[in-house]
C-alpha cells in the first residue's frame, strides 16, 4: 500500500550533493492507541524540494520529528544525509535545519539574540554567528525589529524569525513543517522564493503542506501521506498523469443555439465521452494530446460556421489527484492543537 504504484523516482538527477539525501525504511510510530506512522518508505534525492502532502493528522509532523531526531521510531530505520537518525543523531543535527509546525523562538530574547544563540549552538563561532544573524535578519525583513524582543513580534514575524533560525547554519537539508500555514500571501511568495533558492544551492528541502497548490508550485517530488502511510509518490506531473484524470479541452459557444451543430462537427475529432452543458453553451472532452487539439477544434467549428466565445485547456490539478486517491479532500483548516509538549505520549 505504501509502495509507489508505477511511479519512478528521479534516479537520473545529477548526484552533485552526495550526502544530502533522505532514506526512510519501514518507519512506524504509535502514540498510545494512535498509529501516527504505519510503515513509511521514502527516498528523497539530494538538491530537490520534496513535499510531503497530507491532511491534518495524517502523520506529517511525526515523520518530520523522526527525521530530525526528535522522536524515536518504534520500528524501521531512517537516514538523513547518510547518518542514522537514532545511532548518529548528533551528526544528523549537524546537517539539518528545522522549522517546526509552530514557531519556536525565545520570546525574551531579541530577534538578533535568537539567531546568534542558534548560530553559537551550531558552533559557528561568535563572529560568524553575529554576521549570519545580521544577514538573515536582513533577508527576512526583520532588520527594523532586530533589537526588539520576540515577545513583541506579530505572528508572521515570529514565523519568519523561526525560518531564519532554521537557516542559520546554511544546512544542506532543511525541514519545514507547514512553513506557510498562517503566512500572508506576500510572505508566502517570499518564502517560496527562499525555498526554491535553497534547492538551487544544492540543498534539499523537505517540507510538509496541506496545500496542494503549494506542493504543485514548489516541489520537484511529492509524496502523499494519509493515515500514516505514503499512498502515492512522484513528480507533480507523474501524479497528475497516473491518477488525476486527464487534460480537458473546454469551450463556450458564442451562440448556444448552435450546440447541436457544434457537437456533430466535433464528433470527428473528439472521443465518445464528450460533455455538454446546453444552458451555458459549454462543451468539454478529454484531450490527452494537449494543445494539438485546440487548432483542430477551431478548424472543425469554423468549417460549419460556429463561433467560439472561449476555448481553453484545463490541466488536472493535484486536488483531482488527492481526491482520486484518498476519496476525500485535502485542505482543511489549520491545525488548532495547542498542546505541543513533545514526548507526552
Ligand X SMILES: Nc1ncnc2c1ncn2[C@@H]1O[C@H](COP(=O)(O)OP(=O)(O)O)[C@@H](O)[C@H]1O
Instruction: State the nearest-atom distance from the C-beta of 341 to ligand X, in Å.
Output: 8
Q: Cell numbers 494530446 correspond to what residue?
A: 289
**Contact mark string toward another protein, 100..139, x via CB under 8 A:** x-x-xxxxxx---x---xx-xxxx----------------
**Contact mark string toward another protein, 138..167, x via CB under 8 A:** -----------x---------------x--
Of another protein, ligand X, Mg ion, none, which one sits near residue 56, judging by CB under 5 to 8 A according to partner kind?
ligand X
For ligand X, which residue of 5, 34, 189, 274 counts as binding (CB under 6 A)? 34
For Mg ion, which residue of 68, 101, 114, 284 counts as binding (CB under 5 A)? 101
Q: Cell numbers 527525521 correspond to what residue?
A: 67
Residues 38-97 that bind Mg ion (CB under 5 A): 60-61
Instruction: State the nearest-atom distance from the C-beta of 31 to another protein, in Å.
Output: 9
Residue 127 or 327 having the CB closest to ligand X = 327
The total number of residues shown for the chain amounts to 345
Cell of 81: 544525509
Sign, CA dihedral 76-78-83-85, equals negative
| Binding piece for another protein, criterion CB under 8 A, among 96-104, 199-207, 273-281, 291-299 | 96-104
Of another protein, ligand X, Mg ion, none, which one sits near residue 321, judging by CB under 5 to 8 A according to partner kind?
none
The 3-class SS string of the chain reads: CCCCCCCCCCCCCCCCCCCCCEEEEEEEEEECCEEEEEEEEEEECCCCEEEEECCCCCCHHHHHHHHCCCCCCCEEEEEECCEECCCCHHHHHHHEEEECCCCCCCCCCEHHHHHHHHHHHCCCCHHHHHHHHHHHHHHCCCHHHCCCEHHHCCHHHHHHHHHHHHHCCCCCEEEEECCCCCCCHHHHHHHHHHHHHHHHCCCEEEEEECCHHHHHHHCCEEEEEECCEEEEEECHHHHHHHHCCCCEEEEEECCHHHHHHHHHHHCCCCCCCCEEECCCCEEEEECCCCCHHHHHHHHHHHHCCCCEEEEEEECCCHHHHHHHHHCCCCCCCCCCCCCCCCCCC
The yes or no reply on residue 336 touching another protein (CB under 8 A) is: no
- Phi/psi of residue 322, each to 5°? -60, -45
Residue 65 or 79 having the CB closest to another protein = 65
Of Mg ion, another protein, ligand X, none, which one sits near residue 90, judging by CB under 5 to 8 A according to partner kind?
another protein
Cell of 208: 510538509
Q: How far apart are CA 40 and CA 72, in angstroms?
A: 14
Residue 59 or 97 having the CB closest to ligand X = 59
**Contact mark string toward another protein, 72..91, x via CB under 8 A:** x-----------------x-
Instruction: State the nearest-atom distance from the C-beta of 54 to ligand X, in Å.
Output: 5
Of ligand X, Mg ion, another protein, none, which one sits near residue 246, judging by CB under 5 to 8 A according to partner kind?
none
Cβ neighbours of residue 33 closer than 8 Å, sequence gap 6 or more: none
Angle at 324 between CA 319 and CA 327, to 5 degrees: 100
Residue 163 or 218 having the CB closest to another protein = 163
Instruction: State the nearest-atom distance from the C-beta of 272 to ligand X, in Å.
Output: 41
Instruction: State the nearest-atom distance from the C-beta of 89 to another protein, in Å.
Output: 9
The yes or no reply on residue 179 touching ligand X (CB under 6 A) is: no
Residue 172 or 234 having the CB closest to another protein = 172
> How many residues lie near Mg ion (CB under 5 A)?
3
- Phi/psi of residue 260, each to 5°? -60, -45
Which residues are near ligand X by CB under 6 A?
A: 31-32, 34, 36, 54, 56-62, 335, 344-345
Which residues are near another protein by CB under 8 A?
A: 65, 68-72, 90, 93-94, 96, 98, 100, 102, 104-109, 113, 117-118, 120-123, 149, 165, 339-345
Which residues are near Mg ion by CB under 5 A?
A: 60-61, 101
Amino acid at each position: 500500500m505504501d509502495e509507489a504504484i508505477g511511479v519512478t523516482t528521479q534516479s537520473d538527477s545529477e548526484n552533485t550533493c552526495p550526502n544530502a539525501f533522505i532514506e526512510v525504511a519501514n518507519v512506524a510510530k504509535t502514540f498510545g492507541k494512535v498509529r501516527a506512522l504505519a510503515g513509511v518508505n521514502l527516498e528523497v534525492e539530494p538538491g530537490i524540494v520534496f513535499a510531503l502532502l497530507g491532511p491534518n493528522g495524517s502523520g506529517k509532523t511525526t515523520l518530520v520529528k523522526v527525521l530530525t531526531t526528535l522522536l524515536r521510531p518504534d520500528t524501521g530505520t531512517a537516514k538523513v544525509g547518510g547518518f542514522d537518525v537514532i545511532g548518529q543523531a548528533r551528526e544528523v543535527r549537524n546537517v539539518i535545519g528545522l522549522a517546526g509546525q509552530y514557531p519556536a523562538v525565545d520570546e525574551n530574547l531579541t530577534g538578533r539574540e535568537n539567531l546568534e544563540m542558534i548560530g553559537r549552538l551550531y558552533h559557528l563561532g561568535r563572529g560568524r554567528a553575529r554576521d549570519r544573524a545580521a544577514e538573515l535578519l536582513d533577508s527576512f525583513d526583520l532588520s527594523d525589529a532586530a533589537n526588539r524582543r520576540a515577545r513583541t513580534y506579530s505572528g508572521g514575524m515570529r514565523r519568519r524569525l523561526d525560518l531564519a533560525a532554521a537557516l542559520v547554519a546554511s544546512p544542506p537539508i532543511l525541514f519545514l513543517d507547514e512553513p506557510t500555514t498562517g503566512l500572508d500571501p506576500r510572505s508566502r511568495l517570499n518564502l517560496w522564493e527562499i525555498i526554491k533558492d535553497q534547492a538551487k544551492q544544492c540543498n534539499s528541502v523537505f517540507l510538509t503542506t496541506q496545500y496542494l497548490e503549494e506542493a504543485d508550485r514548489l516541489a520537484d517530488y511529492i509524496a502523499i501521506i494519509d493515515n500514516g502511510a505514503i499512498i502515492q509518490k512522484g513528480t507533480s506531473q507523474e501524479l497528475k498523469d497516473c491518477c488525476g484524470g486527464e487534460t480537458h479541452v473546454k469551450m463556450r459557444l458564442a451562440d448556444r443555439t448552435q450546440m447541436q451543430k457544434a457537437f456533430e462537427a466535433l464528433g470527428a475529432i473528439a472521443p465518445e465521452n464528450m460533455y455538454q452543458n446546453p444552458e451555458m453553451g459549454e462543451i468539454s472532452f478529454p484531450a490527452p494530446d494537449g494543445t494539438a487539439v485546440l487548432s483542430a477544434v477551431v478548424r472543425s467549428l469554423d468549417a460549419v460556421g460556429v463561433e467560439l466565445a472561449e476555448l481553453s485547456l484545463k490541466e488536472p490539478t493535484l486536488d483531482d489527484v488527492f481526491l482520486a486517491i484518498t476519496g476525500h479532500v485535502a485542505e482543511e483548516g489549520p491545525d488548532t492543537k495547542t498542546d505541543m509538549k513533545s514526548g507526552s505520549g
